[in-house]
Amino acid sequence: MTLKQLSYFQKLAETQNYTQTAKELYISQPSLSYTIKELEKEFPAPLFEKEGNGNRIRLSPSGQIFLKYVQDALQNIEDGKNAVSQYIALEENILNIGYIHTFSLSNIIKLFHEFQAQPCGGMITLRQEISNEDSKLLEQLRLQKLNFAFCLEPTDGISGFPFFQQELFIILSKDHPLAERKSLSFEDIQKEPCVQVGHAHTINRIVDGIFQSHNCTPRVAFEAGNLGVALAYVLGSHCYTIAPQLPTMDFSRLTALSLEGISMCRPIYFAWKTNKKFSKNEQLFFDFVSQSRAS
């Protein structure tokens, strides 16, 4: 039993005429007859009875019983289609924006507030998703579970542009001998043990570049799986790590110092799935972020 069979049955029950029904459905009369015969195979009795010698027919007692259920079923399907359409229309007013946890929440909130203060943005709900791993954000973009993301580095299948430069600092325990300084020179940290986050982390490439420009390499004492582990190691040792300054850091026990004469920044990218066709609201948010970067 198919939806086409039910639709044809309902129309034929309404007109009680094969020729007229076929015309209104824009199909041939043999095609209509075949569809109805296939439907009647589902029942032990015919659904229609002939009336006279022409194309006029009428519902059989079995057909009269079945018609009400068909009408209800087709109406429920139509109601379901409308409900889905309304849901999609609502969902189009919701944008899921992901960001890496080391991107300051205050920056995200400021951007959201500014967007929603615009006449075009006031009717759009922004839903934030935070992740500890850049790779998870990128995967959610590929699966279109996120509309956009602020991430560290787009990869295959993901497009993006640098949204802003995030400043990096030397993070030390307040028990570290260098913690009393207001800033540090490269010579101060050149031979100090450091903690790196992951093997291929974007910050490591920045640090490696700084050391390579001085013809040396950092003295890595520990390679942490994430920033939280790196900070815990720093607190328990006289090592340093390089990271952005975040509100979640315990600055009663940590200090953040700049590196004299060296700009330490990493780009935070605004990213989306490559070749994605933007909805109207996605385009509004994309244009706003692009203009915010330009300003």
As a whole-number percent, the residues of the chain with pLDDT over 70 amount to 95
Residues in Cβ contact with 129 at an 8 Å cutoff, skipping those fewer than 6 apart? 96, 97, 98, 99, 137, 140, 146
Confidence bin at 270 (pLDDT 50/70/90): very high
Mean pLDDT of the chain: 87
Between the alpha carbon of residue 257 and those of residues 8, 178, 231, 266, the distances in Å are 77, 10, 15, 16
- List, for residues 19-60, the tens digit of each pLDDT value: 888 888 889 989 989 999 999 999 998 998 888 766 688 999
Please report the pLDDT score of residue 276 as a whole number: 86
Can you spell out the DSSP letters for 111-146? HHHHHHTSTTTTT-EEEEEEES-HHHHHHHHHTTS-
- List, for residues 110-148, the tens digit of each pLDDT value: 888 998 888 877 778 777 777 777 888 888 888 888 889
Can you spell out the DSSP letters for 143-208? TTS-SEEEES---TTEEEEEEEEEEEEEEEETTSTTTT-SEE-HHHHTTSEEEEESSS-HHHHHHH
Confidence bin at 173 (pLDDT 50/70/90): very high
Helices 3-15 and 29-40 cross at an angle (nearest 10°) of 110
Residues 96-120 have a mean pLDDT of 84
Name the token pair of 47.
């659904």
Please report the pLDDT score of residue 78 as a whole number: 86
Please report the pLDDT score of residue 106 as a whole number: 77
Would you say how long the chain is, in residues?
A: 295
Which of 163, 150, 32, 175 shows the shortest CA–CA distance to 96? 150
Confidence bin at 287 (pLDDT 50/70/90): very high
- List, for residues 212-265, the tens digit of each pLDDT value: 999 999 999 999 888 889 999 999 999 999 999 887 788 899 999 999 998 899
Phi-psi region of 247 (alpha: psi -120 to 50; beta: other; left: phi over 0): alpha
Please report the pLDDT score of residue 281 as a whole number: 86
Confidence bin at 90 (pLDDT 50/70/90): low
Say which residue, 270 or 279, is predicted with more confidence: 270
Confidence bin at 87 (pLDDT 50/70/90): low
- C-alpha span between 217 and 181 (Å, rounded): 23
Please report the pLDDT score of residue 54 as a whole number: 64
The structure's pTM equals 0.65
* Whether the Cβ atoms of residue 179 and residue 255 lie closer than 8 Å to each other: yes
User: Where do we find the tokens 């390579």?
Assistant: 212
Q: How many CA atoms lie within 13 A of 134 on its CB side?
A: 21
